[in-house]
Amino acid sequence: MNVYSAALMALSLCLTEASAQSQPRAAIVTGEVHNAPSREIEFLHEPLLAPGPSQHYIALDEQNRFALLLNVPKGILVTGHYKDEHRIPFFVEPGDSLHAVVTFAEVTEADSAAAEPDSLQSAADKAPPSYFLTFNGRGAENNRFLAEFWPQHLSFEPDYALEPEAFAHQAEQRRQDEFALLAGGREQYALSQGFIDCMTAFINYKWANQMIFYTRFSSINGVLGRILSFKSLDRRAVPPDYYDFLQEIPLVDEEAIGVQEYRRFVENALDLDVKSYRPTILSDKYKLSGLGLSPAVLAQLDSMYEANRVPRLSEMIDLAGLGLAEGSQSQLDSMYQIFQNQFDGGMRPSEKAAWLGLELSPAEQSQLDAYEGHRVAYNMEDTDTTMIDTTGGSLTFHMPVEKINEWYEYLHDRPLSAKVDMSSLELLPAVQAQLDSTYQNRFQNRQLFKPSQRVDLAALGLSPAVQSQLDSILAGRSFSPFLGAVERYDLAKQKLEGRVLYWFLAGELKNGIKHGFEAYVDTRWQSFAERNPFPEYTEALKAEQSKLLTLQPGQPAPDFTLHDPDGQPVSLSQFKGKVVLMDFWASWCGPCIGDLGDLRKIKDQVAAQPVVFLNVSLDSNEGAWKQAIAKHQIQGVHVRSDGQVTQAYNVSAIPRYYLVDPQGLIVEDHLRVFDVDEVVVKIEENL
């Protein structure tokens, strides 16, 4: 029985049960697709009874049909995604049995190869969708209007280069235009009240998010650019009354749960109130719950970790063994600490310009060096150009993604004598050379914090066994939650209430689980589970945790079959007997491209070994995928992922690396390829 027939049978059973209960909670969307750009559709929606979003991957049957069964207590907006290139909206309510016919415009292979989406916006986001929709069945009227509304909604691009007052006027006018469309739809179609309520919330919260988002953009010489300053709270200057719009839209709106724009609004509104992001504490980076530490001891460890987060140079290198006097050691430590606090590596702007190959006159160099500071930002308009921007009295280097990665690698790899001016120490050339040689190992510079070597843990009442466990845990991998996640979680408990509070907190915890932030989740889980009065949220989080257990080291790596650039099938299982390094990447992913240098080093060191480098691309555009492989000369086996594979491996962000042993078992689920030597050791240990 294919998925279409199975879904229809399930619908029949649901409707039979619903007729007995008089309150149906199931809805089904069936459909057929003409000129389908892919055999698979990803359906997304914000669920009502679980922290979202929810994903459903549906494969078309042999007759290009699909069927989706949803459990919906009230009406929700569902979007069908075709490889992220086409977003097809549906609205369903309990009891709906909607049938859709989706007809895509025919696209030639040449057209497909020419449309190369960038990293921020796909081609489909910039033009009306190239498909036509027809509907019948229960719920058809709502969706006929939605099919007319959606292209007009997508065609609007806010002009973030406007001044605050002009932007606010533009956004408000657009909101009123969309409400006028909805009013016209009520006259033309028999729209349900549930649909009207959903669209009202969607329009309002979309508008509010655009208003907030405006403050996170900067105008660069008339060119739109997202603020990428590493001072995360840098926001565009707006007059105080700009934020008056927040008074007319509720932060706590239980009826809006299920509207994806509402969750984004709550996140954005809370982020506005975050005054400063504190550094991530030890208990948010490492899972320490199994050690039985008291809150007081944990607080002491957190405090100690923050004070010693960056090791002193004298802790990395035996300075006394190199013959340095105590005073020189202290001076060198102090100078190194100053260097660590300089994000630009202590280099003058003119030195950076010279490294970039920019030809400047002495006067222009002096003018650059007169700026108190500078920052680096991605060049979003031209991927091959480096620009210097001095708009607004600040200095910014706009660089291509690859150049930025080269720049930071250069900063890390410079010898110590280039980072710290040692001339005042009057060191012998041999000693300075020895210092450079010892420091040059960048992995030694990443030496991890070991409490037992730096603090008297026995004074904290920790037994030798616990001290050893603590050292072992902190020698392993750690992941910090997203910037501001901790502050946003705490603010939510102050500003939200009722179901909205626990729905939002559950979503934050689910995000932490999904991204591997075990410690962040662990320190909040017990309190959440004890206080949460809505068991469906607790159960959803438990299910998410159980799912991730299947991807832990030692578990079988989920098998899959995808196609290579020549259309030939490639299965993970065919590489049994070899170590497999799986790289989830995409042509538009800057960090993915930035990791290629380290991946090449790993490949060179294990070239003679039975190791397979399996590159799993998330590119939606086949032409862009093939061009990136050729442009960057990416070695290994290449396949292009579907939604089921990325979901099976919990790939929510890229790059993401897995190491699989010859038996097909996961060795590492968050491989850090910048640790080239460590990765090589792991590979060799599993051959």
Q: Say how far apart CA 563 and CA 640 lie, in whole Å.
A: 6
Which pLDDT band holds residue 391 (cuts at 50, 70, 90)?
Answer: low
Task: Determine which helix (DSSP H) or strand (DSSP E) holds 332, and give its type and residue range.
Answer: helix 326-340
pLDDT digits (tens, 9 = 90+) for 28-38: 888 888 887 77
Percent of the chain with pLDDT over 70: 81
Which pLDDT band holds residue 377 (cuts at 50, 70, 90)?
Answer: low
Mean pLDDT of 377-386: 59
pLDDT digits (tens, 9 = 90+) for 148-185: 999 888 888 888 878 899 999 999 999 999 999 999 99
Burial of 641 (0-12, 13-18, 19+ CB in 10 A): buried
Which domains can be identified in the chain, with CATH numbers?
Answer: 3-247 (no CATH), 273-277+480-549 (no CATH), 349-413 (no CATH), 561-685 (3.40.30.10)
Task: Determine which helix (DSSP H) or strand (DSSP E) holds 218, and give its type and residue range.
Answer: strand 217-220
* H-only helix segments in 441-573: 442-445, 451-454, 464-475, 485-495, 498-514, 518-531, 535-549
CB contact at 8 A, 560 and 645: yes
Q: Say how far apart CA 452 and CA 538 lie, in whole Å.
A: 37
CB contact at 8 A, 654 and 589: yes
Q: What's the full length of the chain, in residues?
A: 687
Residue identified by tokens 């009826």 is 255
How confident is the prediction for the chain on average, in pLDDT?
80
In the predicted model, is pLDDT for residue 1 greater than 60? no
Instruction: Retrieve residue 73's tokens.
Output: 């207590």
Q: Which amino acid, residue 94?
A: P
Q: Say how far apart CA 289 and CA 523 lie, in whole Å.
A: 8
CB contact at 8 A, 80 and 61: no
In this prediction, residue 279 carries a pLDDT of 67
Beta strands in 25-143 (DSSP E): 26-34, 40-45, 54-59, 65-71, 76-82, 86-92, 97-104, 131-138
Report angle CA 30, 187, 170 to the nearest 5 degrees: 90
Higher pLDDT, 334 or 554: 554
Q: Say how far apart CA 663 and CA 687 lie, in whole Å.
A: 10
Q: Say how far apart CA 666 and CA 612 lie, in whole Å.
A: 14
Highest mean pLDDT (candidates 268-282, 407-421, 470-484, 575-589): 575-589
Q: Find the helix packing angle between 498-514 and 518-531, rounded to 10°.
A: 150
CB contact at 8 A, 238 and 272: no
In this prediction, residue 678 carries a pLDDT of 86
Burial of 627 (0-12, 13-18, 19+ CB in 10 A): middle
Mean pLDDT of 401-409: 70
CB contact at 8 A, 215 and 236: yes
How many Cβ atoms sit within 10 Å of the Cβ of residue 44? 16
Q: CA 638: distance to chain centroid? A: 23
In this prediction, residue 226 carries a pLDDT of 41
In this prediction, residue 468 carries a pLDDT of 87
Q: Say how far apart CA 76 and CA 98 lie, in whole Å.
A: 13
For every residue of 351-390, DSSP letters joined together read HHHHHTT----HHHHHHHHTSS-EEEEE--S-TT--EEE-
pLDDT digits (tens, 9 = 90+) for 49-108: 677 667 777 778 888 888 888 888 889 898 887 655 567 889 999 989 999 998 887 755
| DSSP state at residue 665 | B
